[in-house]
Structure 1
Amino acid sequence: MKNLLLLFLILASLLAKAQDSTTYVNVALKNGNSVSGQLLHKSDAEVSILTSDLGTVMLPWSAIESVNVISKQEIHQFANPQPTRYFFAPSAIPLMKGDKYYQNAYFLLNSIQAGLSDHFSFGGGVFVPFALFITPKIGYQVAPKVHLGGGVLFATSLIRDFNFGVGTVYGSFTYGTNEHNFTVNAGLGAVNENTGLGSNDYQWKFASKPMFTISGMTRISKRVLLMTENWIFSTKTVNYDSGTGQYVNTVSAYNSLLSAGARIVGRRYAFDVGLLSPTSSEFSAIPYIACNIKF
């Protein structure tokens, strides 16, 4: 009896090890499609996967954007079509060459971004009817699950005689995969400010303190990822004497814009929904909705 029990335990252990050795992956292709299944073989030339509908598929590395280990339950889910950005803030994950996406938020904010190489993308858009902006970006994978990058955000007014302009140069650090990651961006902003009371002259001035974004996303189901994006920036408040109207002082302080929500994904689209809450005023929750299309 003891020998039979010992044999049973040995067989159970071997079976568990055999099950543990099975690896399931999601392979994101450069053409925007993805293939999921059991990893059979990986070499310097190709990756072989056993799929439930296509059988064994051999994919050359030249066609592959990324390979991510997943659970068996995740085989039939769509890959995240927008790992390069959160609600608006970028990650350091680059847009691949030839990939493009369009975003519309609030029916007023329209933007497009295109991958000119596997490490550099260029885009821009318009916030109708107020501003025009551009968003060049670079990104590199420097280690497993580690990306570094940076870029520029520049916006200027579309309204004549309204001398509006803002910009920032930033660097990015992202840790994680396309499905589960977090990002820290740090940048130095600049504003096109009036040189003095009653003057028509404007001058670009860099902020004395950096600004930051802290963002993250994680998949919780086949079609849903949770997201958060939080902006931290310095603002200046000019104080005047209420009686005389004379200048008293200028106070600088950090404020933030917090957000949380979800991304609902398909093969080439994503809908972002969430709530925005500025901390500089009394608590308020502003609804956010955007549509993203990858093409």
Structure 2
Amino acid sequence: MKTTFFTFCLIVFFVHSGFSQTEEEKVNQSVIITLMDKSEITGELISENDQEIVIESNSLGLLTFQRAEIRKIIYLNADGKLPNPNPTRYFIGQSAYNLEKGEGYYQNIYGLVNLVSFGITDRFSVLAGTEIISLFNGAPILLTNLKYGFPIAKNLRAAASFTYITSGGEFAGDLNLGSLNALLTYGNTEHNVTLGTGYALANGEINNTSILTIGGMTRLTNRLAFVSENYVLMGENDALLSGGVRYIAKKLTVDLLIFQGGFPAIDIVLKF
């Protein structure tokens, strides 16, 4: 438990130290504009409204684009870093941030577990996935998740998440596990810490022992972030700790974490 508390304090320190660099107005920051023909233009944001956006490019000068011409806008931070494309989760654990409407990602864990998540609205997202070995054995393990997140105040968000795991094929219905979780995230998409609590469900019954989750991340460089994901079994004085790094690209992240006991965990997330 002392180790868990130390990890939490460390994450809070990283979150606090990073706010001054990431909380800023959009005007005068660098942006990458992707047009409908998929061409990209980088420049400094001069102004924007519901109809158009004006930027200044070093090579092309002042440019004005109608919203109908724009496929996507990527806002870089004060240091010119790409934004974190995967702020909604750490490794397995989630933050209270949600996918925007129409956004999605594909996550592969160990090359075996495949998950796809999609934002139905800016506050509500769904996830579905399976595991390859069980799939080819004719008894697939199926996973789904529903998540609703919303802002409470500046730098503070909350979410409710429900996860359900079951089996299909010849063992359909033999596996029935779930969890209902409440999440509270303090910070922004680059530096944050999340506290979560919830109850496990097995065969329709609720386990009276709750699980406390403590996760967080902080941006270290343009391409790297520190990530931690920890689980505390309340009432059992037991915890599972982890820490590692996240490699960040425009639409991709790769996580490498080491869990307590030296157990490695690796995944890749592709955003679409």
TM-score range, shorter chain: 0.7 to 0.9
Identity of aligned residues (%): 28
Shift of 1:57: 5.8
In 1, the alpha carbon distance for the partners of 2:51 and 2:154 equals 19
Choose from 146, 167, 175 the match for 2:186. Answer: 175
Contact 1:26/1:79, CA 8 A, preserved across alignment: no
User: Do the aligned residues in 1 keep the contact of 2:33 with 2:73 (CA within 8 Å)?
Assistant: yes
Q: Which runs of 5+ in 1 are unaligned?
A: 1-20, 193-203, 235-251, 278-283
Alignment counterpart, residue 78 of structure 1, candidates 57, 68, 82: 82
Tell me the equivalent position of 1:154.
Answer: 164
CA pair 29-96 structure 1, distance change in 2 beyond 3 A: farther
- CA contact 2:26–2:75 (8 Å) conserved in 1: no
Q: How far 1:142 sits from its partner (Å)? A: 2.8
Counterpart residue type for residue 244 of structure 2: G
Aligned partners of 1:40 and 1:48 also within 8 Å: yes
Could you tell me how far 1:125 is from its partner in structure 2?
0.8
Structure 1 letter corresponding to 2:180: V
Picking from 79, 94, 104, the partner of 2:108 is 104
Q: CA 1:228/1:30 → structure 2, altered by over 3 Å: closer, same or farther?
A: farther
**Partner of 2:153 in structure 1?**
143
Whether 1:287 and 2:264 are equivalent positions in the alignment is yes
Aligned residue number for residue 256 of structure 2: 273
- Structure with larger RCO (C-alpha < 8 A, sep 6+): 2
Alpha-carbon distance between aligned partners in 1 of 2:174 and 2:233, rounded to the nearest angstrom: 22
Q: Say if 1:176 and 1:161 are closer, same or farther in 2 by CA, change over 3 A.
A: closer
Please state how far the C-alpha of 1:60 moved relative to its aligned partner: 8.4
Tell me which amino acid in the other structure corresponds to 2:112: L
Label 1:111 to 1:67 Cα distance change in 2 as closer, same or farther (>3 A).
closer
Which whole-Å CA distance do the structure 1 matches of 2:125 and 2:44 have between them? 33
Alignment CA distance shift 1:94-1:162 (3 Å) = closer
- Distance in 2 between the 1:213 and 1:57 partners? 47
CA distance change for structure 1 residues 114 and 35 in 2, over 3 Å: closer, same or farther?
farther
Two-structure CA RMSD over aligned residues (Å) = 3.5
- Unaligned runs of at least 5 residues, structure 2: 1-24, 135-139
- The match for 1:222 is 222
Q: Is the 8 A contact 1:24 1:37 kept in 2?
A: no
Q: Does 1:123 align with 2:100?
A: no
1:60 & 1:174 partners in 2: Cα distance?
35
Of the two, which has the highest radius of gyration?
Answer: 1
For these two proteins, the number of residue pairs brought into alignment is 237
In the superposition, the TM-score normalised over structure 1's length comes to 0.68
CA contact (8 A) 2:212 2:233 kept: yes
